[in-house]
Amino acid sequence: MQKILSDPMVIKEVMKLNLPKDAIVQCDPWMYGADRDSTRDTHKLIQSLLYVRAPHNHPDSNQYSFPLPFSAVLDVFLGKVVRIDALATGGKEDCLAYYTSGTHPMAHCVEHEYYHEIQKECPRQDVKPLHIVQPEGPSFTVTDENCIYWQKWSFRVGFHYREGMTLHDIRYDGRPLFYRLSMSEMTVPYGDPRSPYHRKQAFDVGDAGAGSTANTLSLGCDCLGSIKYFNGWLNDDKGNPVKAENVICLHEQDGGIGWKHTNHRTQHPAITRARNLVIQSILTVGNYEYVFAWVFMQNGNIEFETRATGIMSTSLIDVGKTSHWGNVVSPGVLATNHQHLFCLRIDPMLDGPENSIIQEESIAISQSEQENPHGNAWRVMKTIFERSGHADANPFTNRCFKIVNESVINPVSGNTVGYKLVPQPCQLILAGPDSVARRRARFAEHHIWVTRYRDGNLWAGGKWTNQSISEVDGVQDYASRNEDVRDRDIVLWHTFGMTHNPRVEDYPVMPVEIITISLKPSDFFDKNPALDVPQSRQEVNKSVLVQDSLQSGWKEMGGAECCGLKAKVWNSGTDMCL
């Protein structure tokens, strides 16, 4: 970054912007993705997005409100800037001209801070503390450094520079379920066609590394309750091991009502609360954050939860303009439309290594006197994957995919034992079939991939990502081997995500957008596995009744009066409020 900021070409361009004297320019380096049909050696190039730290000049001031109208391209081998790319700032007029706002192109940008010490508004005062207290400690046990036991579940946790947190040898009550679970890849293609914005396509697992960018988590900040941390190992540029501290956290959460039935004859409720085990890691990839968590449940479900947060990548837009390719989220600040497409790698071993995949749908049948005289019936249709391949989500037919072990029959129902995945029916990659953006992320063309297990087949987008012009050795290649996948050692892949056309509410830091993928037992057990969770009782839960009489006392603390407390907080010195 320093090489870019000190380059004479860059300094010359910055001088033209007539920025305030004390302005500090900052640089976000981005991968320089290969262009279509490119024969140039793009692998040696880095593109930069440049910003000015806000006039306030606090080290944590938000640069993304002041995007510069040019990008500098660095040749890593030469160690110098080889090109300055003007950035279009004309909005719907798609004007490629530079400095369309005249001699002070960024004069309409305003400070928009998120860091609590420098926000203009006082923090709200009416959030009362909430503690998660486990007086007897958590219900989990950790042995052998990374082996976790909890509520009939057992698994091992690993850490990888590329995939971050990985899970291994997942069992319930001793029965094997999954050999390995991991976030295999993700891509974030941006939808602005104006060069060089078209090159923005992040691969935050394959390029940035979900392990390399994992946050060191902090007690009481990232985590609430009784928290166990795990360290990981990375390496420095000499290959020496570097400890990555507290990159994974483990804790329990209350999951609300787990199951309930009240016998209406006796009015006796049978009720349990669900307790969940959460193992979590947080990534900071430049401007953006991902919170990845695996959630284990007493009812046999495993969920993978993704929370997308952080700051959207921004670019400059002239005063008064709007754009087809994004939304204005702060004066002069265009947040570009983009997609997040993740690929989960699910390596099953349900009651053994040989498994099969069944696609299941609910299909209406025609009204007929023989079979369906009243027209109310449907059939559950099953299709088994014989060869490796792909499939897509279809919520309108209730489509789900079942991992089954055809050799093990559920004694109650007579079906093969299984776990089901209902794919999240996200919009798939929007980039056109001939675009490089799509060619190098073929995994984002389908929701479901079924492949035969092979050592090293771990990366949905292939080993090389942003700097390739097509996906090589990725899940599409694994699937196209057309291998026998019935009753074999197989892998199921699920591509999910979202198209994110930014809202004003997503700035300056976006509230978490949550996507949850579930793996649920489906005739794997012989009854509700959470049946033996004890009755929910006040003696254990120690809830507190909020009395009406107390409430008149709280009225004066209502949200509307926050401003009146400003001076008090300022004087107390516990919060700094400008």
Residues 201-240 close enough to bind a second copy by CB under 8 A: 201, 215, 218-229
Dist CA 392 CA 402 (whole Å): 14
Kindly give, in sequence order, each residue whose CB lies less than 8 Å from that of residue 126, ignoring residues fewer than 6 positions away. 557, 558, 559, 562
Between the CA of residue 290 and those of 213, 305, 312, 392, 514, what are the distances in Å?
10, 10, 12, 25, 10
Q: Which is nearer to a second copy, 43 or 228 (CB)?
A: 228
Q: Which of 7, 192, 204, 347 is catalytic?
A: 204
Q: Which is nearer to a second copy, 78 or 270 (CB)?
A: 270
Dist CA 86 CA 47 (whole Å): 12
Span of 4-12, 98-106, 368-376, 470-478 interacting with a second copy by CB under 8 A: 368-376
Binding residue for a second copy, selected from 557, 564, 567, 578, defined by CB under 8 A: 557
Do residues 136 and 79 lie in contact, with contact meaning Cβ atoms separated by under 8 Å? no
**Binding of a second copy at residue 319 (CB under 8 A)?**
no
Nearest distance in Å: CB 162, a second copy: 19
Kindly give, in sequence order, each residue whose CB lies less than 8 Å from that of residue 497, ignoring residues fewer than 6 positions away. 186, 339, 340, 341, 342, 424, 426, 444, 515
Q: Which is nearer to a second copy, 332 or 462 (CB)?
A: 332
**Binding of a second copy at residue 559 (CB under 8 A)?**
yes
C-alpha 130: how far from chain center: 26
Kindly give, in sequence order, each residue whose CB lies less than 8 Å from that of residue 48, ignoring residues fewer than 6 positions away. 1, 4, 27, 28, 29, 30, 71, 72, 73, 74
**Binding of a second copy at residue 268 (CB under 8 A)?**
yes
The binding track of 322-361 with respect to a second copy, each residue x by CB under 8 A or -, is x-xx-xxxxx-----x------------------------
**Binding of a second copy at residue 401 (CB under 8 A)?**
no
Tokens linked to 82: 């080889």
Do residues 475 and 493 lie in contact, with contact meaning Cβ atoms separated by under 8 Å? yes
**Binding of a second copy at residue 260 (CB under 8 A)?**
yes
Query: How buried is residue 230: exposed, middle or buried, by Cβ count under 10 Å (0-12/13-18/19+)?
Result: buried
**Binding of a second copy at residue 273 (CB under 8 A)?**
yes
Among 301, 319, 358, 136, residue whose Cα is nearest residue 226: 136
Q: Which is nearer to a second copy, 395 or 564 (CB)?
A: 395
Residues 479-498 that bind a second copy (CB under 8 A): 498
Q: Which of 51, 288, 453, 507 is catalytic?
A: 288
Would you call 94 helix, strand, or coil by DSSP?
coil
The binding track of 274-293 with respect to a second copy, each residue x by CB under 8 A or -, is xx------x-x-xx-x-x--
Angle at 502 between CA 497 and CA 503, to 5 degrees: 125
One-letter amino acid at 39 equals T
Do residues 105 and 70 lie in contact, with contact meaning Cβ atoms separated by under 8 Å? no
* Phi, psi dihedrals of residue 64, rounded to the nearest 5°: -70, -10
Span of 39-47, 141-149, 473-481, 485-493 interacting with a second copy by CB under 8 A: 141-149
Span of 68-76, 177-185, 264-272, 463-471 interacting with a second copy by CB under 8 A: 264-272
Q: Which is nearer to a second copy, 314 or 451 (CB)?
A: 314
Nearest distance in Å: CB 132, a second copy: 7
Span of 70-78, 191-199, 237-245, 463-471 interacting with a second copy by CB under 8 A: 191-199
Token pair 């400690």: residue: 137
Nearest distance in Å: CB 100, a second copy: 18
Q: Which is nearer to a second copy, 484 or 575 (CB)?
A: 575
Residues 407-426 that bind a second copy (CB under 8 A): 410, 412-415, 425-426
**288 an active-site residue?**
yes
Q: Which is nearer to a second copy, 455 or 556 (CB)?
A: 556
Binding residue for a second copy, selected from 558, 571, 572, 573, defined by CB under 8 A: 558
**Binding of a second copy at residue 570 (CB under 8 A)?**
no
**204 an active-site residue?**
yes
Question: Which neighbouring-strand residues pair with 483?
Answer: none
Nearest distance in Å: CB 124, a second copy: 5
Q: Which helix (H) or strand (E) holds 14?
A: helix 8-15
Tell me how crowded residue 323 is: count the other CB atoms within 10 A of its CB.
22
Residues 25-54 that bind a second copy (CB under 8 A): 26, 35-36
**Binding of a second copy at residue 314 (CB under 8 A)?**
no
Tell me how crowded residue 143 is: count the other CB atoms within 10 A of its CB.
9
Binding residue for a second copy, selected from 503, 564, 567, 578, defined by CB under 8 A: 503
Nearest distance in Å: CB 148, a second copy: 10
**Binding of a second copy at residue 561 (CB under 8 A)?**
no
Query: How buried is residue 415: exposed, middle or buried, by Cβ count under 10 Å (0-12/13-18/19+)?
Result: middle
Residues noted as catalytic: 204, 288
